Amino acid sequence: MKYVLVTGGVVSGLGKGVTASSIGVLLKACGLRVTSIKIDPYLNTDAGTMSPFEHGEVFVLDDGGEVKKLLSSAVPLLTFGQKKCWCHFQHHNHDSILLTAAFYVSPVMYFERRLDSLISPFYKGRELEIIVLIATDFELFLCLKVDLDLGNYERFLDTKLTRDNNITTGKIYQSVIDKERRGDYLGKTVQVVPHITDAIQEWIERVAMIPVDGKEGPADVCVIELGGTIGDIESMPFIEALGQFSYRVGPGNFCLIHVSLVPVLNVVGEQALDENVMEKLSQFCHVPAENIITLYDVSNIWHIPLLLRDQKAHEAILKGLNLTGVARKPALEEWTARAELCDMLHEPVKIAMVGKYTGLSDSYLSVIKALLHASVVCRRKLIIEWVPSSDLEDTTAKEAPDVYKAAWNLLKGADGVLVPGGFGDRGVQGKILAAKYARESRVPFLGICLGMQIAVIEFARSVLDLQDANSTEFDPETRSPCVIFMPEGSKTHMGGTMRLGSRRTYFHVTDCKSAKLYGNASFVDERHRHRYEVNPDMIAQLENAGLSFVGKDESGRRMEIVELPSHPYFIGVQFHPEFKSRPGKPSALFLGLIAAACSQLDIVLQKSGHVKKEAIRKTGMSNGPTIVKARQNGNADKPANGSLNGVHTNGNGVH
């Protein structure tokens, strides 16, 4: 097993996750099998109880593991001795990114040379061979920090990770304390070194051997990302453990990639570092000048693996891992075509995202990615209109009429409406109003998790005239409980007590849009994360009024998919289809939403929801030399506030 470690320095949020994912893509394109591990130094056991406003979305794995990308509003800018200067993290076009890859971990000596005592556990006096990768696109990496790391690994590498692929300080300490309580240490004093550090190394070795690509046997390379910043107190046990680990696995089996910051002063806009800067970096970092690579501004993150390939980063990594004779030339033709196609799309499709956490777009990161995957297949430029659900409510109309009017204008100007998952009663009435608008105006609608539940509540209120219809989550005393607490749930413990992970949904109606989108399958496996469900005692009443619960669990009593047959596209699902969407293989239901929003649904349904090889070739996403021609629309609206990784937004949720 070969190991690639990605660490970060100076400031957080530099793009370690996308760097690790891109290197994984590059190594996979060289014919190697790749797995991933994310280390989070926080004490939480998992991310399930963390606020979306503080940490972004919770990404759910097949086995129910929950992970998040930690974000920081205040980060260490520079370190001088033991004193740290702190500042708010802001976007500056002239900033740059430094990525340093070393085959044996070494002190970083440029802007981080003051930190050498903190990272010295890595440095044991070995002969060093280092690569430095530099990116001048701070805006790009600022956007990338909101991307959920394990979700990014799965999307980029098309793998299925497990909860053990995410290591936290809480998990490690819990496992060591459990061993101590069982007497496994035979009365010894349990210490950070060697017991915690040994537990970290053993965890990495064990998880790295788990296949995640659907094939038998372990992967060839394990890419490990250490969250946080080198020098943080909380990450020191991991730094020590990984320093020991480099000796444990031996020469030729360990490679470090360090992500750092290089400010470039008096520069406006995008610019690569000149040769003088390269030479200075070479001298201060003890890096050969030929191993310094510049990564400049790109239009979408799918270009990052291509930039690494073009500057031969894979050759240096393969050389350090003694894999030069094993790996092939990277085959990224399909990846290249997809990245270029995304840049060439001009005809817009507008989707109104009606949610509670629209002030922080990373709360819906996987939803955004799934929409992007589907829009590229449909050859449309995705524009997301962020609509805070509470702004649609009557209270806002009285207190802030301009805000209320603006929110409704965004909703009514969209080609489709999406209500994502969430918890709590704030903004629920606005989501119900959005579902009502989409149903009555025959606008394509997709409700996910809570989005499905509020669609059922709205139908009960408007069609069945049950004005007090509600969820017991919001009104425990309602006389018309359309949504109820699941009997197996826990009301006393929050973490890990929901219905989590991959569950099977059986189609009970074959002639429905969702079944056709899934390729006329009899069942589908999707990931779940919920405590409440549609009340099975009200199903007959709802279906008699026109709703159709086309998908159910194995018992037939838990509702998974609801459709309104008389509507062009009105679908709600209890699960989260966004978590399994991939570039080139979009989620079926997201593809249906985008297709319906741009009048392509009939074509997609005829193809049974599958993007066949012929269709892929015609859209420029094949492995061949197809030339892509984007469909132009001279009347396309240009979003006022620009784009985020190929996704244009109204600015409400982008920071």
For residue 109, which of 9, 12, 239 has the smallest C-alpha distance? 9
Query: Can you state the angle between helices 450-462 and 428-441, rounded to 10 degrees?
Result: 70
HEC profile of 324-388: CCCCCCCCCHHHHHHHHHHHHCCCEEEEEEEECCCCCHHHHHHHHHHHHHHHHHCCCEEEEEEEE
Query: How far apart, in whole angstroms, are the C-alpha atoms of residue 444 and residue 593?
Result: 6
Q: Is 493 a catalytic residue?
A: no
- DSSP class of 585: B
For the chain, how far is it from start to end, CA to CA, in angstroms?
39
Q: At 633, is the secondary structure helix, strand, or coil?
A: coil
Query: How far apart, in whole angstroms, are the C-alpha atoms of residue 235 and residue 227?
Result: 8
- DSSP class of 568: S
% helix / strand / coil in the chain, to the nearest 5?
A: 35, 20, 40
Contact 165, 203 (CB under 8 A): no
Q: Is 449 a catalytic residue?
A: yes
**Amino acid identity at 463:** V
Q: Phi and psi dihedrals of 381, rounded to 5?
A: -85, 120
Contact 5, 39 (CB under 8 A): no
Q: At 537, is the secondary structure helix, strand, or coil?
A: helix
Q: Going by C-beta distance under 8 Å and a sequence separation of 6 or more, which residues neighbour residue 293?
A: 131, 132, 133, 134, 308, 311, 312, 313
Q: What kind and span of H or E run contains 107?
A: none
Q: Which of 449, 482, 512, 598 is catalytic?
A: 449
Q: Is 576 a catalytic residue?
A: yes
Helices marked H in 107-230: 116-119, 138-144, 149-157, 169-182, 197-208
Tokens of 393: 């409510």
Q: Which of 314, 530, 576, 648 is catalytic?
A: 576
Q: Which residues, in sequence order, are bridge partners of residue 67?
A: 59
Q: Which residues are catalytic?
A: 449, 576, 578
